[in-house]
Structures are given as structure tokens and as C-alpha cells.
Structure 1
Amino acid sequence: MATLDLLLHPVRLRILRALLDGRPGTTAQLRERLPDIAPATMYRHIATLTAAGILEVVDEKRVRGTMERTYQVRFDRAELAPADRAAMTTDDHRRAFTAFVGGLLADFDHYLAGQPTDPTTDGVTYRQAAIWLTDDELAELLTELRTAVTARSGNDPAPGRTQRMISLIAVPTDD
């Protein structure tokens, strides 16, 4: 199972985010998506994630005398176990949340840097809603959301389809 330090390393986090859509990718494809990461650094962190069981090799083929491997994320291994989450300190949660928000900012900056962009037409949304829920109602809502997203996560790219990042944050507020 993943550990907090393993998952929150900035380079490893970016590699995992690049494979978040569930589609496999080679190191060369990851380097195209993340060109600012040095090749040796990329290979080292892919090896670390693979050794931890978070990435798995789903294909191997010879390319110009070397072995090209195709990787995919094992989502069941890329999450902290409930006991590990429960043992996290306040600072651990702050680090994890900061990494999450940093990823959101990077995704949004990447979107805005593309040309042309039209947030309204593109369906960009960011909003908050305050709702009163019991713990059971929150669990039910999260299950419904997970089910809705999971039902669509297997969609393949196709004409008219745009890959979209769906993010959720639920935080209790003071009464």
C-alpha cells in the first residue's frame, strides 16, 4: 500500500496525475506530457512507483535495442489505507491538501495556457455549496458521486469527447 511520503513527492505526484485517466502510457509518452522532468529523474521515480506496486507494467516491447515498458496506475494501491489516513497528523493532512490544491492550480493554468480557451463553452466550473448532512447522508452522497464518476471513467477518447478533471473537496464548517 502507498505511503504518504511516497505519494506526495512532487515528481511522483505529477507522474500519477499524468496517468490519472487510467490509460496506460510509456515513459516516452510521460516525458512528452511532462517535458520539464529530466529523463533520469523520470526513470528513477517510475522505478520507485513500480517497485511500490503503484504502477504496473502492462506491456513490454523492444524498441531500437531497448525494452519499452507501458505502465498504468493500480488505483487500489495508489491510495492510503483507512488506518494510514486515520494516523495522519494535522501537518500530514495540510501537506496532502496543499499537494491536491497545487495539482488543481497546475491543471487550471495548463488549461488557460491552451489556445483558444472559452471557460463557459468548455464547461469549466468551480463553485461551492453549503449543505447540512448527517454522517450517513454524507457517506451516501459520496457513494453516489463515486458511482457516477466511476461509471464514466472507462470512456475512451472519441470525437466530441473532452477529457475533464473532476475534483471534490468536502470540509465541515463551523456551525
Structure 2
Amino acid sequence: MDTTELLAHPVRLRIVHALRGDREMTTTELCARLPDTSKATVYRHVDLLQHGGVLEVASERRVRGAVERRYRLRQENASISAAAAAALTPDDHRRAFAIAMTALAAEFGAYLDRPGADPAGDLVGYRQHAIWLSPAELTDLIGELRAAILPRLGHTPAPDRTQHLLSPILFPIGDSRSSSR
């Protein structure tokens, strides 16, 4: 199974999100992170991600006669290349978008179900803006967003840090020919 297929599942995508930032987690910890997903499902998807090279075993230890494994993400294998994305058909994009939105909705639901969830206090945001951009302005915007986000992708867990899910979505909603007034 290639990376595109591996990441094309909401549960696997959520596992990847959980392990970003050089985190190491056991399947038990991942199950706690995905409380709306059965343990058997989490174990099955961890196994697929490990065999597909997206996850690796960081360490093992004996616990009550069983082997407990801590997994970590193999960053270089945890994203879809630009070439692979360019090769997707419109139907592939529809499916990938639906999977991403399903994972996002599940993550948001799990957040809201946590005791003490405070969207206002946690600065939760999910605004949408319709903006008019020329091709050059669009290129500038994408560059500015990347410049703001990329340095933070390397942050690792720390006592004063909370992991957030940031999901920029950008696509044209109108035909450029209809932009005349």
C-alpha cells in the first residue's frame, strides 16, 4: 500500500496527527486519544501504518508478560508528495477531501467530548473567508502561510505546549471569468 492509500483513511490520518511533533505513543495511549474508535480498529490501523513504513517502533518493554511498543512517526513517509498529489484525479481529490474532513470532524468531536473542553478559552477557530486574489496574490498568500506554519511544525511536546490541529483549506469557489463586475 503506498503512502497515499495509507493516509486515505480517517483513523490512520488521526493516528498520524497524534504522533506529529516527535511524539512517541503506545497503542493504549492512541486509543485514549481516539476514544470514539474501537481498540481493535486502532490496533489494526497502527499495524498497517507500521508495515507501510509510516510508523516505526521507537521502543519496546515487557508489561505483564506482553510486549508494549511505543511508536513514532517516520516524518519522511507521513505525507503525500507534490508529484503524487498532482497525479490525483478529481474523484481522488473528492475522496481525499472527504477523508480529511471526516478526520477533522472526528478530532473536533473528541475535543468537545473531553471534560473541560472550552472552545472560547482554547481559542478554537473555524472561520471561512471568501477572498479575491490574483494568481500573484495567491502565490504570495501561500508563501506567507508556509512561512508562518513551517517553523512551528518542528515543535516538540513541552509542558507549556498543547497540540493543535491546523487545517488550512484553500480552493477557488468561482470561475475567474466571472470576476468582472
Q: TM-score, normalised by structure 1?
A: 0.81
**CA–CA distance in 1 between the matches of 2:21 and 2:87?**
29
Matches within 5 A, 1:152-171: 152-153=152-153, 154-159=155-160, 161-171=161-171
Instruction: Give the letter for the 2:74 counterpart.
Output: R
What is the percentage of aligned positions where both structures have the same residue?
47
Alpha carbons of structure 1 residues 152 and 61: separation in structure 2 relative to 1, 3 Å:
same
**Worse-matched range after superposition: 100-109 or 112-121:** 112-121
Q: Equivalents in 1 of 2:52, 2:139: separation in Å? A: 30
Which of 37-46 and 83-92 deviates more? Answer: 37-46
Amino acid at match of 1:62: R
Matching residue of 2:91: 91
Q: CA deviation at 1:103?
A: 1.9
| CA distance, structure 2, for counterparts of residue 107 and residue 37 of structure 1 | 11
Indicate the SS of the match to 1:76. helix
Q: Partner letter of residue 103 of structure 1?
A: A
SS of structure 1 residue aligned to 2:130: coil
Q: How many residues are matched?
A: 174
For residue 42 of structure 2, what is the aligned residue in structure 1? 42
Counterpart residue number, 2:68: 68
Q: What's the CA shift string for 1:44-68, capped at 9, x where partnerless?
A: 3222211211112222233333332
Structure 2 residue ranges without an equivalent (≥5): none
RMSD (Å), alpha carbons: 2.6
The Cα offsets for residues 1-28 of structure 1, whole Å up to 9 and x where unpaired, read as 9433221134323322332454111122
- Taking a change above 3 Å as real, the CA distance of residues 130 and 10 of structure 1, as seen in their structure-2 partners, is closer
Cα 1:143–1:66 shift into 2, 3 Å? farther
User: Are 1:58 and 1:69, in contact at CA under 8 Å, matched by a contact in 2?
Assistant: yes
In structure 2, C-alpha distance between the alignment counterparts of 1:117 and 1:28, rounded to whole Å? 22
Structure 1 spans left out of the alignment, 5+ residues: none
Q: Which moved more, 1:34-43 or 1:53-62?
A: 34-43
